[in-house]
Amino acid sequence: MVLRIETALRNGLAGLALSTALGVPALAAEGEIILALPSEPTSVDACDDSTNANARVLRGNVVEALTQLSPDAGGEVMPLLATEWTRVDDNNWLFTLREGVTFHDGEPLDAEAAVYGINRIMNAELNCGTLPLIRTPTAASVESDMVVRLTTEDPDPILPARMAYIDLPSPSTPLDAKSDHPVGTGPYKFVSRDPGQSIVLEASDDYWGEPVDFARATYVWRSEPTIRASMIKTGEADIAIDIPFHEAQGQPNAQEYSTNSVFFIRPMLQKPPLDDLRVRQALAHAIDKDLLTEVLMENSATPTAQLVSPLINGYIPDFTGLPYDPEAARALLAEAGADGVPVEARIELISRTDIFSGVNEVSQAIQQMLQEVGFNVNLVSVDSVAWSPWARKPDSLTQPVNLLTVTHDNISGDASMSFPTYFGTEARLSMADDEALNERLLAANALVGDERTEAYRAIAQEAYDMQIILPIAALQSRLLTSDKVSYEANGFTDIEIHLADVKRR
Amino acid sequence: MLKFLSVRLTTSLVALLGVMVIVFFLARLTGSPAALYLPVDATDEMVEAFNRQNGFDQPLLVQFGNFVGDALRFDFGQSLAQQRPAAVAALSAMPQTVLLAFVAMSLTLLVAIPLGTFAALKPNSPRDSAITMFSLFTASIPDFWFALVCVLVFSVNLGLLPTSGQASLLSWVLPVATVMLHPVGVITQVVRGAMLDTLNAGYVQNARARGYSWRRLAFRHALRNAALPIITVAGDRAGGMVNGAVIVSAVFAWPGIGQVLVDAVYNRDFAVIQAGVFVVGIAIILLNILVDLIYAAADPRIRIS
């Protein structure tokens, strides 16, 4: 079955073909843009494009994948280095590669090159950040010159979407070592990296797609948001992201964008008192999300009751969860206490300090709200490394009873990238131990279309009713652009900033 | 002199060795880098492979033995975050750090010594009060706030200076001003106090009675005798500039060793932490020896032996 065939060239390509046919020369890339970002990549190997800091620079700019997800169409899978794909049977797929594509080092993109890149990522010894996104062992093989066969151990109906995360490096990239000079097929070539300072990219003359507007792009890292915003105001930078509300207010070129990230609390379900549903419902009633988002999160978040955004097929329309109701929380706690649940037991609130700006104040407010209805909450602030033993199994199962602060984002359009992680029994980050729910997750993963959507919605409903997680807020941010450039923020801006979308004004 | 230097170097290196041992074990108490460099839902196999490849699967004492063996060859290992040798990561940040410290401390002394001296020449006068107020203000003002306000005023509103980076000489102005802020205030007060003591000494009163000019008295005789506490505090502050200036790095993206070390701690980049501490330690040792030599030059009663 052909799931997706490229039926028409994208508008830009069509325009380019038309202008070429009419003899109108395409404008050459010239000038430079400077992007001020909060953090530099921890790795510039294409196989580590799983974090925002890495993917923002590389994905879609230096390296590209077989497919890409549409930022504004619910994660619809679109062609990129593959022009079409076919599901041969439950476990086998054929991807046809785009003709005429070369890597920046001159190597042609053919089935051998694609197979090399995909199998390189599957090598557990290489520790690629994108590997956990491939949920079932997947092997690539050459079907013909320009056709790649992908074979999955278990059926994976959303494999084309997963392939959007697997950026293909040149076959000259080391097989068993990370590269510090990525070579891909994207519109920009990697030129240099000055650790802690900058990364420089240069437009590729041989790019297969639409020409870009700017010949050079320099990324600089400025951890302080005031400085990022100031760089736009003084003309030192052309795009600055992750700008707080007060810095963007009144700025002519400010845009808001969704980070696709949801902030939630994960209760430890294994130990009292949080193993009691009434206690968890009391938690949900006790937290005033409106107050948190409007006041403490400075309009950079909206209250939510769900783990995923409306872009994801497991999103339940109009579901709002339990309302803020401290009286109901007190009543539920009293009822649980009367039944012998140790509701006065100390609960650790594990606040990870780097998940968003201002999380410390938000965690303190949550602690206060919970204490007001009768919980005994102790706030523990940790960085990402110290957070890990509280978050990941098996260590997380031996910790004192706790509430863990977490953020999660999913741009794939599919709930399989979210729900098993937090509702499944096997997942590292999950506290859920409901075998029946886990079976339903496994079954849902094999479905397609509306059946898949309905299955995931039903799973989500049950998970939210059981208060397996307590969603608090969907996070937003802002960016500023200079007068020199035009860039429309989209659903992926926080994760990928495609320089091809940045135009000269 | 040579004996003094060799003894001083030896004792300092022993201290540095102790610091390195403590840093090695303390760094490893902060948690496994695997939690940071691998996705949160990484498999056991990925964690095992990561630990094996980076030697974290070895017993701690074996890791320490390997570290000592490598460090003796000045090989501190590979930076996890920067994908280059840790020694290169640490050393590459030192020239900018030392240059910034040198420029900032020179300017600090150029400002603080005359200010403190003028204040001491007429104690409790309006001039003294104004200088004291100024020095207390600069010593107390939060440097992070000062740096951001300077950016808003001089870069955003007046357009005179760049916000950050190192694109031109003008980029030095705000980082240097921020680094100077506290030392100017503190050293001005130290100069004032030391000069007040010296100017009240009998030999100065005697010289004054003989009609020496205040300028000759202050800068030729009194200042030299007041120099020791000034050198002590300036040396201490210079040490802070060499190993710190984190604010400057954070706000102005100045590529200094302070930021390299802070990033290395956040990134659990043990190799860079160790290399950074070693490099800073050597710099501090050299600075302390320099301060000792300046003591001897300033006060002939101090013998370097």
Alpha-carbon distance of A406 to A400, in angstroms, equals: 17
Would you place residue A75 in the very low, low, confident or very high pLDDT band (cuts 50, 70, 90)?
low
ipTM of the complex: 0.83
For residue B39, the distance in angstroms to the closest alpha carbon of chain A comes to: 6
Alpha-carbon distance of A55 to A35, in angstroms, equals: 14
- A34 to chain B, any CB pair closer than 8 A? The answer is no
- A192 to chain B, any CB pair closer than 8 A? The answer is no
Ranges A312-326, A357-371, A405-419: which has the least confidence: A405-419
**For range A19-48, the mean pLDDT:** 76
B205 CB-near residues (< 8 Å, 6+ apart):
none
Q: Which of chain B's residues have a Cβ under 8 Å away from the Cβ of A386?
A: 30-31
Chain B residue at shortest CA distance from A427: B41
Interchain pair A124, B49: CB under 8 A: yes
Residue B193 in this model has a pLDDT that exceeds 70: yes
Tell me how crowded residue A259 is: count the other CB atoms within 10 A of its CB: 25
Closest CA to A65 of A491, A408, A449, A498: A498
The predicted structure's pLDDT at residue A18: 40
Please state, in angstroms and as integers, the Cα–Cα distance from residue A470 to each residue in A93, A261, A322, following that order. 38, 14, 10
Alpha-carbon distance of A80 to A356, in angstroms, equals: 32
The predicted structure's pLDDT at residue B172: 92
B94-267 carries CATH number 3.40.1670.10: no
Encoded tokens for A122: 């599957």
Chain B residue at shortest CA distance from A177: B53
Residue linked to tokens 């979308």: A501
Alpha-carbon distance of A82 to A117, in angstroms, equals: 14
Alpha-carbon distance of A36 to A227, in angstroms, equals: 9
- B43 to chain A, any CB pair closer than 8 A? The answer is yes
Residue linked to tokens 């991807």: A95
CB within 8 Å of chain A, chain B residues 51-90: 53, 79, 81-84, 89
Q: CA angle, corner A480, sides to A474 and A485, nearest 5?
A: 130
Residue A195 in this model has a pLDDT that exceeds 70: yes
**For range A399-407, the mean pLDDT:** 96
Closest CA to B101 of B244, B304, B278: B244
Q: CA angle, corner A62, sides to A57 and A65, nearest 5?
A: 105
Alpha-carbon distance of B182 to A291, in angstroms, equals: 39
**For range A234-245, the mean pLDDT:** 92
Residues in chain A: 505
- B143 to chain A, any CB pair closer than 8 A? The answer is no
Alpha-carbon distance of A322 to B18, in angstroms, equals: 57
> A149 pairs with which residues across the strands?
A94, A141
Residue A16 in this model has a pLDDT that exceeds 60: no
Residue A400 in this model has a pLDDT that exceeds 90: yes
Encoded tokens for A228: 């990022």
For helices B86-121 and B227-243, give the axis angle rounded to 10 degrees: 150
Would you place residue B213 in the very low, low, confident or very high pLDDT band (cuts 50, 70, 90)?
confident
Q: Compare CB distances from A195 to B32, B45, B82 and report the shortest one's residue.
A: B82
B15 CB-near residues (< 8 Å, 6+ apart):
none
Closest CA to B56 of B71, B41, B36: B36
Alpha-carbon distance of B60 to B65, in angstroms, equals: 9
Residue B263 in this model has a pLDDT that exceeds 60: yes
- The proportion of chain A whose per-residue pLDDT surpasses 70, expressed as a percent, equals 94
Tell me how crowded residue A414 is: count the other CB atoms within 10 A of its CB: 26
Ranges B35-44, B152-161, B185-194: which has the least confidence: B35-44
Tell me how crowded residue A238 is: count the other CB atoms within 10 A of its CB: 25
Q: Compare CB distances from A220 to B35, B83, B165 and report the shortest one's residue.
A: B165
Q: What would you measure as the largest C-alpha separation in chain A, in angstroms?
A: 83
Alpha-carbon distance of A224 to B150, in angstroms, equals: 14
Ranges A122-131, A174-183, A265-274: which has the least confidence: A122-131
The residue of B26, B43, B83 whose CB has the most chain A CBs within 10 angstroms, and thus the best one to mutate to test that interface, is B83
Please state, in angstroms and as integers, the Cα–Cα distance from residue B33 to each residue in A384, B5, B271, following that order. 10, 40, 11
Q: CA angle, corner A466, sides to A465 and A470, nearest 5?
A: 85
Chain A residue at shortest CA distance from B85: A195
Alpha-carbon distance of A417 to A414, in angstroms, equals: 6
Asked if residues A407 and A475 have their Cβ atoms less than 8 Å apart, the reply is yes
Interchain pair A227, B252: CB under 8 A: yes
Interchain pair B156, A43: CB under 8 A: no
Chain B residue at shortest CA distance from A196: B255
A316 CB-near residues (< 8 Å, 6+ apart):
A306, A457, A460, A461, A464
Q: Phi and psi dihedrals of B2, rounded to 5?
A: -65, -40
